[in-house]
Amino acid sequence: MKAGSALKVRVLRQHRPHAARLASLLGEAFDVQGAAAPTADADVLVTTHLSPDEAATTQARLIQVPGAGTEGIAWQRLPAGCLGANVYCHEIPIAEYVLHAALSHVLRAHAPLALTAWSWPSAYLHRPLRGEIHGQRMTVVGTGHIGQEIAHRARAFGMTLVGVNRSGRAAAGFDRTLPVTRLDEALPNTDVLVLCCPLDDSTRQLIDGRRLGLLPHTSLLVNVARGEVVHEQALYLALRDRTIAAAALDVWYRYPAADDQALAPSAYPFDELDNASMTAHISGWSRGLIERRYQAIARNILRLAAGERPANQMWPPSPA
């Protein structure tokens, strides 16, 4: 940055509403603006998506992803010297979402009722027994920030935790961990399968029809990773045919570019299934998340301005 010039920070696309928040955190020494697309003179781009053409023509020194998932950036097309970093901070609300899904699954027979003089006697005298998550077995695919936060909370409910990652390395909060090559061993003994792994070539359609068939028919699947981690058609059929009991789905196969666009989240009618809980990618979307996330982004931009390495730098990749 030239002496006396303001570092230009552009907050792109759907993240534009948070430009003012970031500007207040950074102060007047930084030029922070929201933008619909990358600008040629930007020093920092805060974005979850950068096309190959946009990446190839940017002059930015830092691509700051305002989240954990980085698959939307064409990293290989960035010019030499451009750094990339992501940010976490969303593991708390995502873990709460997962536990809410698990609790809702066992409490589904006890949905709130309008108790009147006519309904109360029958509702009380014939109330059904429900399940408990205490003692249930949860398998978590992905044992990073999110997976460990889920394990921490699930353990408080008395659940047994199995973590699955690439190497099988131990992770905090889990009773045991397995490499992904042994995932099939865990599935038949799983009451709740949680997906919170990154999406890449090794995890795309990791959960296919065969693996869904290994789960108990009473099991719950919770996907807070990416839609494509689960085979789309196989998931629909497994729910429709009751191969598994239910699914809580917060991530999808199609995403809109604008709110006036008519677009279903999947090619299959999950909305017609009574055992599919559908949410609009909100598992990590909380007020606390936004506060923590933009504070972390501001710290990274300050580090860049000071000539320091940004936290959570993931581009260029470290040598093996």
CATH number of the domain bearing residue 250: 3.40.50.720
In a domain, 129, yes or no: yes
Q: What is the pLDDT of residues 282-300, one digit of tens each?
A: 999 999 999 999 999 999 9
> In which domain, by residue range, is 80 found?
7-86+287-315
Residue 161 has pLDDT above 50, yes or no: yes
Q: CA-to-CA distance for 9 and 132, rounded, in angstroms? A: 49
The burial of 101, by beta-carbon neighbours within 10 Å (0-12 exposed, 13-18 middle, 19 or more buried), is given as buried
| One domain, residues 32 and 132 | no
Phi first, then psi: give them for residue 276, nearest 5 degrees. -115, 115
pLDDT the model gives residue 4: 53
| One domain, residues 197 and 302 | no
In a domain, 112, yes or no: yes
DSSP string, 247-278: EEE---S---SSTT----SSSS-GGG-TTEEE
Q: CA-to-CA distance for 318 and 199, rounded, in angstroms? A: 19
Q: What is the pLDDT of residues 64-73, one digit of tens each?
A: 999 888 989 9
Six-digit token string for 196:
């919170």
| One domain, residues 171 and 252 | yes
| One domain, residues 270 and 303 | no
Q: 23: alpha, beta or left, given left = phi > 0 and alpha = psi -120 to 50?
A: alpha
In a domain, 2, yes or no: no
Domain count for the chain:
2
Q: Is the dihedral of CA 163, 293, 252, 276 positive or negative?
A: positive
pTM listed for this prediction = 0.85
Residue 2 pLDDT class (50, 70, 90 cuts): very low
In a domain, 167, yes or no: yes
In a domain, 79, yes or no: yes
| One domain, residues 169 and 46 | no
| One domain, residues 138 and 213 | yes
Give the percent of the chain with pLDDT over 90: 89
